[in-house]
Amino acid sequence: MIHAVDWFPTIAEAVGLNYTNSDQDGVSQWSSITSLGPSSRDQFVYNLDLHPFPAQGRSAIRVGDYKLVMGYPGLYQDWYKPEDDDQGPVVTAQVVVQGNANQMQGLNVTGDYNFLFNLKDDPEERNNLYDKLPDVVKKLEAKLADETRRYTKPDYPDNNPKSNPLNFGGAWSPGWC
């Protein structure tokens, strides 16, 4: 089990840097990689969004083989076979935002959707065990609640017209660089 946040501490250890930061989410996986041994972690948070109406999901955590997803999972909830060239419709950001708004009208996006999957037995996440394993749900909910103590509110800066792709040969830019 490895998460994207593990890359920095893993590379730091690989090049001989002694980097530790208690505020960092990542853990070094260097010894696991070099020894082909077990992962240095047994859990990680996929998402934690405490906004009253998050656009996609509220929270998700994996502990061992189990993954708990709480909140609206997004527009594309279907499964696509990896070898399929067509991964669904190509959409623009405006369509996604509008689609989310349309789908979320009248929904309690913070509570109507709850999923529990056993990723070892069900890697395609087709069998929702949320109602069948309440003890596992409670355990993962408690771990997720514990993670909220480190929650930092996201910073969503105002739109900046200087970031328009027309100003940068078709590429998005924050507008300040």
- d(CA 59, CA 53) in angstroms, rounded, equals 12
Give the residue from 67, 145, 71, 140 showing the smallest Cα distance to 111.
71
pLDDT at 162 over 70: yes
* Beta-bridge partner residues of 67: 62, 117
The answer to whether 61 and 68 have CB atoms below 8 angstroms apart is yes
What is the average pLDDT value for the chain, to the nearest integer?
78
In order of their start, the domains of the chain are: 1-41 (no CATH), 42-152 (3.30.1120.10)
Give the residue from 40, 14, 16 showing the smallest Cα distance to 26.
40
- d(CA 26, CA 65) in angstroms, rounded, equals 19
**166 CB burial (10 A radius; 0-12, 13-18, 19+):** exposed
Confidence label for 154 from pLDDT (cuts 50, 70 and 90): confident
**Per-residue pLDDT tens over the stretch 24-69:** 888 999 999 999 999 989 999 988 888 776 666 688 999 999 999 9
Confidence label for 75 from pLDDT (cuts 50, 70 and 90): low
pLDDT at 7 over 70: yes
pLDDT for the residue 163: 78
